[in-house]
Amino acid sequence: MKMMSGCVTVNRSFSTFPSPLRFRCTFSRTFSIPNNLCLLFTVSSVPRDLRSPLEFDALLLSFSVLRHECLLGFSENMDYGGGPCMFPLHRCKTIHLVRHGQGIHNVEGDKNYGAYMNPEYFDAHLTPLGWQQVDNLRKHVHASGLMKRIDLVIASPLLRTLQTAVGVFGGEGHTDRTDGPPPLMVSNAGNSSRAAISSLNCPPIVTVELCRERLGVHPCDKRRSISEYQFLFPAIDFSLIDSNEDTWWKADVRETKESLAARGLKFLNWLWTQKEKEIAIVTHRAFLFHTVNSFGNYSHPLVKKELSKHFGNCELRSMVIVDCLRALDASTAKDSGESPSGMDL
């Protein structure tokens, strides 16, 4: 395998990859890989059953074809068996994917899909059970030490994801002092009957439209104006949102699954450009499924099974993403006698 004019020429075929970056095969077949990001694999998860103890379950999974072709120097003669894989830490990020807690739309919608059309579910807020799920996940991220490691929290700009993000990753003990910092969430935001949540001693929270739920038709997936959210969540950063009003959601057009997956890959590509190394993302069921499942097409069956599972409410799964083109840059620098940039520590 060798790099030629932005393509990769290989001497054998392998699974079709979902993405914009094109690979060309010597058998005149074309393959793709998700932008620069060449791998996602589960390293931990949180049980979604509230009755189960919340703990990290380490999942040691093999990396499959792409591990060999992309991460380990694009060797032409490697087999596809399992085994350890090694690559520099500065070539990867750890992301913690979180689906929001149960929303009012989930109660009926999980039993009858047509219920998602109910206009009363506009920008659905969390149920009391959803807040209980949030509280349990919060206990877990603190008890496991995860809270101390997270550099940044990214949230979809919808009420249920914002409530989940501040409930899980927010600070403790907000006081209404006029000279103090603003809260992450004001009291009773979104009919929550919850006290205000502090912005002290917690990672910054920023909203990004790219990780919203599947767009269109369903009122629960339409957001409020940003000015309304800024009143409810004063310390959340909304600066990356271009429009105050929701210009993405259309009442008569439902986003296709293919478009949703492409948007998810665009989000991951943007995520790679951020300086933070360990990031939590609070988002939605369909967005998570179609984004993560895109990587399953070229994974080992055990990995594909993990990546293809739907997220439960307030379920957390931790992943590693690797930029394979940076790995290639390191290999090129080695061959040319230059030192690759970037340090692990």
Clarify whether 142 is annotated catalytic: no
Domain boundaries, the chain: 91-325
CB neighbour class for 308 (10 Å; exposed up to 12, middle 13-18, buried from 19): middle
- Sheet with 278-283: strands ordered across: 37-45, 316-323, 92-99, 278-283, 152-155, 205-207
Q: Tell me the per-residue pLDDT of 37-76, one tens digit each, with 9 for 90 and over.
A: 544 444 444 444 433 333 333 222 223 333 333 433 333 3
What are the DSSP calls for 209-224, one per residue? Answer: GGGPPSPSS-GGG---
The lowest-confidence range among 3-12, 34-43, 317-326 is 3-12
Pick the more confident residue, 298 or 111.
Answer: 111
CB neighbour class for 84 (10 Å; exposed up to 12, middle 13-18, buried from 19): exposed
| Residue in 69, 213, 255, 306 annotated catalytic | 213
| 21, β-bridge pairs | 33
| Residue in 100, 105, 218, 300 annotated catalytic | 100
The lowest-confidence range among 31-45, 52-66, 85-99, 221-235 is 52-66
CATH number of 91-325: 3.40.50.1240
Do residues 184 and 170 make contact, with C-beta atoms less than 8 angstroms apart? yes
Give the type of residue at 331.
Answer: S
Ranges of beta strands (E only) in the chain are: 2-4, 7-10, 21-25, 30-33, 37-45, 92-99, 152-155, 205-207, 278-283, 316-323
Clarify whether 120 is annotated catalytic: no
Q: Tell me the per-residue pLDDT of 287-309, one tens digit each, with 9 for 90 and over.
A: 999 999 888 776 778 888 888 89
What pLDDT was estimated at residue 171? 92
